[in-house]
Amino acid sequence: AAPCPPPLCARGAAELPLDEPCEGAAGCPVPRAAIAGPESLSDCPGDELVLDGSASSGGGIRALSFRWRVDPARSDFAADVNARLAALPATASVLQLDDLPGGAWTFLLRVRSFLGAESALAEWRVV
């Protein structure tokens, strides 16, 4: 077999510590959570709320993981809604909920990179 041309060959190795993969001056890029969607929901039966977190960024070469919640202090029936949100897969960048109990919620989104870096909470108020 012919040798690899020098610009295409790896010239070393890297080790990433599992407990702190982003040591060093630069550290891990900090992800940014972003939410888009309606700020109000009608009283019509079957009306569905769709919130989109796909504009969140900072995952690097892999997809971000998403953690959706509602703020218990500012959301109606927070325990019920949070139970539904906890069942979502970590890949759920878009949230689709129907038959929401109550009439006001503050949704929270935190995203995490595969290296473990987390965003600040993004929030979205729906009434």
How confident is the model over 31-76, as pLDDT tens digits? Answer: 999 999 999 988 787 789 999 999 999 988 899 999 999 999 999 9
**Model pLDDT, residue 60:** 82
**Model pLDDT, residue 10:** 55
In the beta sheet, which residues pair with residue 98? Answer: 48
**Which tokens belong to 62?**
């892999």
Q: If we measure between CA atoms, which residue out of 121, 117, 124 comes closest to residue 27? A: 117
Q: Please report, for residues 38, 93, 106, 118, 126, the alpha-carbon distance to residue 41 in angstroms, rounded to integers and kept in the order given.
A: 7, 20, 13, 29, 7
2-11, 96-105, 107-116, 118-127: the lowest-pLDDT one = 2-11
* Letter string b/e over residues 70-92, b meaning 16 or more CB atoms within 10 A of that residue's CB: beeeebeebeebbeebeeeeeee
Instruction: Give residues with Cβ within 8 angstroms of 8, minimum separation 6.
Output: none
User: Does residue 120 carry a pLDDT above 80?
Assistant: yes
**Model pLDDT, residue 58:** 92
Q: Does pTM top 0.75 for this prediction?
A: yes
At 77-113, the pLDDT tens digits run 999 999 999 999 999 999 999 988 888 999 999 999 9
